[in-house]
Amino acid sequence: MKSYTLDDLARMIDHTNLHTDASPKDMEVLCNEAKEHHFAMVAINQVQSGLCAKLLEGTDIHTGAAISFPLGQTTIASKVFDTKDAIANGANEIDYVVNQTEIKASNWDYIKDEMSQIVAACHEKDVTCKVIFENCYLNDEEKIKLCEIAKEVKPDFIKTSTGFGTGGATFDDVKLMKDHVGDAVKVKAAGGIRDAKTFMKMIECGAQRIGTSAGISIIKEFEAMMKEQGVSTLEI
């Protein structure tokens, strides 16, 4: 169990708008909300990196670019190029999607090479790197192998889902991922997390970052809980 203030909980949230039709105005709203609630990051499509970095300039809120999103079906070279391009435009966190085709072919050397190159491109610029597994398409053996590779390559986070697949984060997946990377890599849960109860259970299972488009309502739930209990922290 650990004590969390409302700000501690907000700083675990990647405030998300990855919709295809998201407008510049939508990005402005997203960034203003992130500033108001002091979220950790805005999670946006790569093309929005420059705009969001400008909107968040002077704050400690990060701009998180999604790379090869949501399918992951681009070459290593193009993923690395897009990573570097996003960073050059102001992104200071990268969430990239692994190549599912190569996982299904058990081409683990390819997966390790892809992860190594993208992690290196991020860490060279002191940028946080998250690897999206998209667990809904994987069996446990594949998830565990990805964890083993991540434990060796050391991205900052491994992440459950894009939120665009056939399923999102599950408690079992978060626990499995945490059990197999230990303290070497952090775990981000994303996809379908829309209330405080689910958020808390994800933390209990080992998640240290939560990706959600429902961050505001979740934080308001936590605020109401604290007020009702007459406390300034929650034990999770």
Kindly state the tokens that stand for 232.
Answer: 């300034």
Confirm whether 109 is domain-assigned: yes
Confirm whether 85 is domain-assigned: yes
pLDDT for the residue 150: 98
> What does the radius of gyration of the chain's CA atoms come to, in whole angstroms?
17
Cα gap 132→70, rounded to integer Å: 9
- Series of mean pLDDT values for 10-residue runs along the chain (236 residues): 97 97 98 98 98 98 98 98 98 98 98 98 98 98 98 98 97 98 98 98 98 98 98 96
Residue ranges making up the domain that contains 74 = 13-214
Confirm whether 179 is domain-assigned: yes
pLDDT for the residue 39: 98
- Indicate the number of domains in the chain: 1
Instruction: Please report, for the domain that includes residue 94, its CATH number.
Output: 3.20.20.70
Which residues 6+ apart lie within 8 Å of 222 measured at CB?
6, 9, 196, 234
Of 14, 82, 95, 173, catalytic: 95
Confirm whether 52 is domain-assigned: yes
Cα gap 41→215, rounded to integer Å: 11
pLDDT for the residue 73: 97
Confirm whether 56 is domain-assigned: yes
Cα gap 153→91, rounded to integer Å: 21
Confirm whether 3 is domain-assigned: no
Of 84, 145, 178, 188, catalytic: 188
pLDDT for the residue 201: 98
Confirm whether 108 is domain-assigned: yes
159 is known as an active-site residue: yes
Of 84, 130, 159, 178, catalytic: 159
Q: Contact at 8 Å (CB) between 92 and 63?
A: yes
Confirm whether 87 is domain-assigned: yes
pLDDT for the residue 186: 98
